[in-house]
Amino acid sequence: MLSATSATTSLSSCLRGYSLKQQQQQQQQRSSSSAESSSSRRSSTSVMMRSSSSEKKSSCTSSSSEDVGRTALLATIASSPIVLSAQDAFAKGGEFGLLEGRTAALVHPFFLGIMYATSLYAGYLGLQWRKVRTVGEEIQELKKASPVGADAETANPNQSKIDELTKERKELVAGNYKEKHFNAGSLLLAFGTCLAIEGGMNTYIRVGKLFPGPHLYAGMGIVALWAAAAGLVPEMQRGNDKARSAHIALNAVNVALFTWQIPTGLEIVGKVFQFTKWP
């Protein structure tokens, strides 16, 4: 009985030990499998993180390249002297572009300087053409002084003077002063009037208003005198001496007014250089 009991006890202990070993092996297998699964999860997570980081890097690289391109474009525009100067030249706000710049503002004084020189030249041409007519009249007066029936040698004591004036008149006629004077006057009337309008228009474009004052009033007077002097030409062509004298007087006043206007014009040019920039 004792032997059977001891055998049974040893058998049960063996079975318990075997079952414990089986449980330990199963636990080891479970732990290894869980470790493998966690490691696989970690590796997949790391792969995903690496892919996401690479995507982020690529997106950052593309965005950074776009930013670099935009920065380069802005730097190119900002460093361009034409664009930069054009922005600085906008005195009123830029709505008229380069018309508000210094170049457009200097068109009026530059060409009006040429018109002033043309006025002086036209006056010289007009006096030369008047001299052609007055010399001819003087020759006629000297010829009338010749006594009737006298010898050729004693016919007119002023014959040498007549010959001298005749030669001078031929030289004056050869100078074609009449046509040159007409062309210069036409240029003053047409181009000068356009420049007078352009000056006021440019001032309004740059600052948004006009400045009534001596320069503006003198310019208006000059244009009016040009028109009045040109209006006398038909009567002058008919031989009206009063119209001729009035034409000369009007142009003399015009040149004097033009000369008086120069200092105020130079003052405005100084303001143009002060408040505008090229172009």
Residue with tokens 């005198």: 225
SS3 (DSSP) at 240: coil
Domain-embedded: residue 213: yes
Domain-embedded: residue 59: no
Q: Looking at the predicted structure, is the pLDDT value of residue 269 above 80?
A: yes
pLDDT at 244: 94
Domain-embedded: residue 226: yes
pLDDT at 40: 47
b/e 7-38 (16+ beta carbons within 10 angstroms → b): eeeeeeeeeeeeeeeeeeeeeeeeeeeeeeee
Domain-embedded: residue 10: no
Please state which of the ranges 21-35, 72-86, 108-122, 182-196 shows the lowest mean pLDDT: 72-86
What CA–CA distance (Å, rounded) separates 254 from 232? 15
Average pLDDT over residues 149-154: 54
The predicted-structure confidence for 8-17, as pLDDT tens digits, reads as follows 444 455 455 5
Domain-embedded: residue 230: yes
- pTM of the shown model: 0.60
Question: Does residue 235 or residue 142 have the better pLDDT?
Answer: 235
Task: Please tell me the total count of domains within the chain.
Answer: 1
Domain-embedded: residue 101: yes
The predicted-structure confidence for 167-181, as pLDDT tens digits, reads as follows 989 999 999 999 999
Residues spanned by the domain of 121: 96-129+177-275
